[in-house]
Chains A and B, each alone.
Chain A
């Protein structure tokens, strides 16, 4: 009985899988008789088997759905969306119950009533994308099955079901070409079969060797050849038993798209292609989750609401297209939508906000790199988190899953026109093409997918240099770290070397490509991979084991593991590590500041203190407006003063966003060059408008811009001229935490030749104390205090305060205070 029950569950679930794709097609065309018949048969079979197996709950549900479908068949009822949804809900419940058999978790039986009520509700005319009405408890008894009716039905089907079932199944096979006749086999049996064939291949190879050694007559050899060819065919065939059509992967998607579009109030047309491509069943399992996730993303973030689409001049319903095809030994699955695409600028902004890149690094990213940020943990472009996606835990997991099975994921997107995600996965998990490499006395296998290129050590294309213990190879201008496999595995090299070593350019999922040196590459084989034992994988460099045709067991190398064991730089560590060390250094060496080298629009290279640069951004020409002789840039719905405009903007200008803690301005430039450290005190002090002075960097000298002047210019547009005092004056800035004081005022004072200290408790006797008017400080000593206010209006701040961008008054006040102190 248990066996029959297990078979019933398996068969029900499988039929459900197939049907869920059809139900949407049926909704689109309710007049399609053959589909309706298929559903009707499903519920009828479930009902029949349930009576036999004594599963009253299944039976009640199936009976309810069958009644409704019967009414539709008779033309008494139409298959409107509400009906379809109700039928789907019953199908889901049957699936859930079937999965729940034998498990502890149970669904309350009372829930079934709500489903049946929804079924019996003859609604007639719901809009396609309206939400479902709340579950009704109206006493509509018309179509609710009553107990006696079930009992009657029961008896009939008890007798007919067993006889009817096989007949129906065979007619299914004839009627629908897409479903060939199948039987159900345990996977373990197939694995055993595969092992048996592998044994046979090994025995054949052994025999072939012995026959070669002994020399046999041609007749025997002919027979052996025939046997050998048969064995090879058999091996290919048995490999195919593991294959499944991609259709299985597609089965759940139409239903998902339908449900999601309803939930989101969107419209989408789904196109599926390439369902007849075959891939390893294990691979199918591994791809289901990533594919589901990408489809959800496409519907949630990609495809716009119908109204927005019409505004954008697109068809009201979006298109989601999924194509599978075989390309060599890979399966390529493309998921494309014609939605709004990915906003690269928003992604970059988030990456900068999350501290992944500094603004300068972010500005240097290529378009592809920007797009690939979407695979970074925690980054999402979704403005809001919805129930479907947007929590930022997604694409990184998708990429990890795909790479785990040796696949690659790529993305292309045109902003406003749609996104296409391409997954490339190997045909099968268990048989991979591999290179057999020699390393000392050992042989290892390396997956061919990881190897980009093979070179001989003495090739003219490659030059290897050794620097500080590290060895670096240059191939066609690209630099790679070089590791020798013998060193990683700690095995001795061969004493007498024969010929040049072989260098493999190896790419792994986690790091930059590197060069792996081996004694030689012996051969190229299709390898059946099995998992290695835990104690072997603990070494960190082995991915599995295999038994090649020579019968000697061999370990499969893990390209990523070797990079880790050899401590090669990983993909993100260099980008991330740099800002951290910079920060550490600025804390220790207070007499040095970081400065940005940039190219002005006239081509001159100048410096700006990095502390005032908030970000580097690309502006559209349309974002720049000129008003009243002054230029402004519109950024995030704010107008910021823009310096350096060249009248009418044509090419998209780059802009440095400068930030003094309160105000932002845009400083338009040609490009960013580099970041360097320079002394806080300028080598030559000038007072020429925006230029603060000259700084020597190596054998070059740069003009350092005066951020104080830039802000003053932007704020008042009339702060000109400068007053420099030659005497060092001890200035104390009361509030060390105030960003304006620290990044704008303090450098100004230092550049003017004054000495600056921070905090009230600072040592030494200051000549003058500077503070903001909002946080005036009281001092016991007769040290003059200058209060600075943020606004130009004299009535806006504290009495006797000085407007902080009124440079002349400020400098004069400092000089006067210092004279008084002296």
Chain B
């Protein structure tokens, strides 16, 4: 049943969907401590009780922008390869089933999105781009290619 359960959110005004199996929680962040010498999409560290999250800005990674002066409040928490991450999102709308499942992408999407979007998920009459969180923590070399 969890196969078709998705979190629907938005980044950069685009609706996105993330498989619920990848997600641990959605939290409001406190202060983010910036890290020197890392790519701009690594926003910094944030404390979640006794855990330390590495905060990833997906929008920055997709478009190669430096958003470090912008505010960030909402993050999806996920454990990937034994490390805890927080992925910044602008809004979160819902977690629910998508009865139609994942459909292939029709039409040409922005090339910036292409390396990350794995399909479309329909919810509430709108299509959402399906993203996988683990794509955003891969080696920085891959990031340069994608950007």
Which residues on A are within 8 Å of B, measured CB to CB? 195-196, 198-199, 201-202, 442, 489-491, 530-536, 538-542, 545-547, 551-555
> In this assembly, does B124 line the interface, its C-beta being within 8 Å of a C-beta of chain A?
no
> In this assembly, does B95 line the interface, its C-beta being within 8 Å of a C-beta of chain A?
no
Taking A442-B36, A491-B36 as contacts, is the C-beta distance between A531 and B83 under 8 angstroms? Answer: yes
Nearest CB of A to B37, in Å = 4
Question: Are the C-beta atoms of B52 and A553 separated by less than 8 Å?
Answer: yes
Chain A residues touching B, majority SS:
mixed
Q: How far is the CA of A539 from the CA of B140 in the complex (A)?
A: 10
Taking A533-B54, A533-B85 as contacts, is the C-beta distance between A554 and B42 under 8 angstroms? Answer: no
> In this assembly, does B31 line the interface, its C-beta being within 8 Å of a C-beta of chain A?
yes
Q: Which of B33, B42, B83, B139 contacts A553 (CB 8 A)?
A: B33
Question: Are the C-beta atoms of B49 and A545 separated by less than 8 Å?
Answer: no
Q: Which of B34, B82, B137 contacts A535 (CB 8 A)?
A: B137
Interface string of B28-54 (1 = CB under 8 A from A): 000101111111001001110111101
Question: Are the C-beta atoms of A552 and B33 separated by less than 8 Å?
Answer: yes
Which residues on B are within 8 Å of A, measured CB to CB? 31, 33-39, 42, 45-47, 49-52, 54, 81-83, 85, 137, 139-140
Give every chain A residue within 8 A of B52 (Cβ-Cβ).
530, 545-547, 553
Could you list some 25 contacts between A and B, CB below 8 A? A196-B50, A199-B50, A442-B33, A442-B34, A490-B37, A532-B54, A533-B83, A533-B137, A534-B83, A534-B137, A535-B42, A536-B35, A536-B38, A538-B139, A538-B140, A539-B35, A545-B52, A551-B47, A552-B31, A552-B47, A553-B33, A553-B45, A553-B47, A554-B45, A555-B35
Please give 7 more A-B residue pairs, beta carbons under 8 A apart, in addition to A199-B49, A489-B37, A553-B45.
A202-B49, A442-B33, A489-B36, A490-B36, A532-B54, A535-B39, A545-B52
Question: Are the C-beta atoms of A547 and B47 separated by less than 8 Å?
Answer: yes
Question: Are the C-beta atoms of B50 and A202 separated by less than 8 Å?
Answer: yes
Give every chain B residue within 8 A of A531 (Cβ-Cβ).
82-83
Give every chain A residue within 8 A of B34 (Cβ-Cβ).
442
Give every chain A residue within 8 A of B47 (Cβ-Cβ).
202, 547, 551-553
Give every chain B residue within 8 A of A539 (Cβ-Cβ).
35-38
Give every chain A residue within 8 A of B139 (Cβ-Cβ).
534-535, 538
Q: How far is the CA of A530 from the CA of B85 in the complex (A)?
A: 14
Give every chain B residue within 8 A of A201 (Cβ-Cβ).
50
Give every chain B residue within 8 A of A199 (Cβ-Cβ).
49-50
Give every chain B residue within 8 A of A540 (Cβ-Cβ).
37
Give every chain B residue within 8 A of A547 (Cβ-Cβ).
47, 50, 52
Using CB atoms, name the residue of chain A closest to B31: A552
Using CB atoms, name the residue of chain B closest to A552: B33
Give every chain A residue within 8 A of B140 (Cβ-Cβ).
535, 538
Nearest CB of A to B70, in Å = 18
Taking A545-B45, A547-B47, A547-B50 as contacts, is the C-beta distance between A535 and B33 under 8 angstroms? Answer: no
Question: Are the C-beta atoms of B36 and A198 separated by less than 8 Å?
Answer: no
Of the candidates A202, A545, A553, the one having the most CB atoms from chain B within 10 angstroms of its own CB is A553
Give every chain B residue within 8 A of A491 (Cβ-Cβ).
36
Give every chain A residue within 8 A of B45 (Cβ-Cβ).
545, 553-555
Q: How far is the CA of A530 from the CA of B49 in the complex (A)?
A: 14
Give every chain A residue within 8 A of B46 (Cβ-Cβ).
553
Give every chain A residue within 8 A of B33 (Cβ-Cβ).
442, 552-554
Taking A198-B50, A199-B50, A553-B45 as contacts, is the C-beta distance between A535 and B36 under 8 angstroms? Answer: no
Taking A442-B34, A490-B37, A545-B45 as contacts, is the C-beta distance between A536 and B54 under 8 angstroms? Answer: yes
Q: How far is the CA of A198 from the CA of B47 in the complex (A)?
A: 12
Nearest CB of A to B98, in Å = 30
Give every chain B residue within 8 A of A195 (Cβ-Cβ).
50-51
Using CB atoms, name the residue of chain B closest to A489: B36
Q: How far is the CA of A551 from the CA of B34 in the complex (A)?
A: 15
Top 9 nearest A-B pairs (CB, nearest first) are A198-B50, A553-B45, A489-B36, A539-B37, A199-B50, A533-B54, A553-B52, A533-B83, A199-B49
Nearest CB of A to B109, in Å = 26
Using CB atoms, name the residue of chain B closest to A554: B33
Q: How far is the CA of A703 from the CA of B31 in the complex (A)?
A: 73
Nearest CB of B to A330, in Å = 27
Nearest CB of A to B69, in Å = 14
Give every chain A residue within 8 A of B54 (Cβ-Cβ).
532-533, 535-536
Give every chain A residue within 8 A of B137 (Cβ-Cβ).
533-535
Q: How far is the CA of A490 from the CA of B35 in the complex (A)?
A: 11
Q: How far is the CA of A534 from the CA of B39 in the complex (A)?
A: 12
Give every chain B residue within 8 A of A489 (Cβ-Cβ).
36-37
